[in-house]
């Protein structure tokens, strides 16, 4: 993580997020999501304004795409490392409810 290549890659990836977010609604109209989806949100348990805002934004995302909303707690950014059991349950639930 000390090399300039890593920093450059992270910068480029983060710089593209707004463009990707803007392109996504048009893509979803042309190619609707037909698979079951879950928005599984890592949450460290904080009750501050930023934590509440994060959860609300993720719940709104789930509503917008017609997905289940589930909070993985306690978990950070890497939910799959912090709560692998909950990730596995979300996958099993999705496959059990698939048409």
pLDDT digits (tens, 9 = 90+) for 31-88: 887 888 899 999 998 999 999 999 999 999 999 888 999 999 999 889 999 999 999 9
- Position 98 scores a pLDDT of 67
Task: Find, among 79, 31, 99, the residue nearest to 89 by Cα.
Answer: 79
- Position 65 scores a pLDDT of 84
pTM of structure: 0.71
Q: Which helix (H) or strand (E) holds 38?
A: strand 38-42
- Position 13 scores a pLDDT of 84
Which of residues 2 and 6 earns the better pLDDT score? 6
The answer to whether 71 touches 65, Cβ cutoff 8 Å, is no
């Amino acid at each position: 993580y000390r090399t300039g290549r890593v920093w450059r890659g992270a910068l480029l990836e983060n710089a593209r997020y707004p463009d990707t977010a803007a392109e996504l609604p048009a893509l979803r109209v042309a190619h609707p999501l037909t698979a079951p989806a879950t928005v599984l949100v890592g949450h460290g348990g904080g009750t501050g304004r930023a934590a509440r805002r994060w959860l609300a934004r993720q719940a709104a995302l789930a509503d917008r795409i017609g997905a289940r909303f589930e909070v993985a707690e306690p978990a950070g950014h890497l939910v799959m490392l912090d709560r692998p059991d909950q990730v596995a349950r979300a996958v099993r639930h999705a496959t059990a409810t698939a048409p």
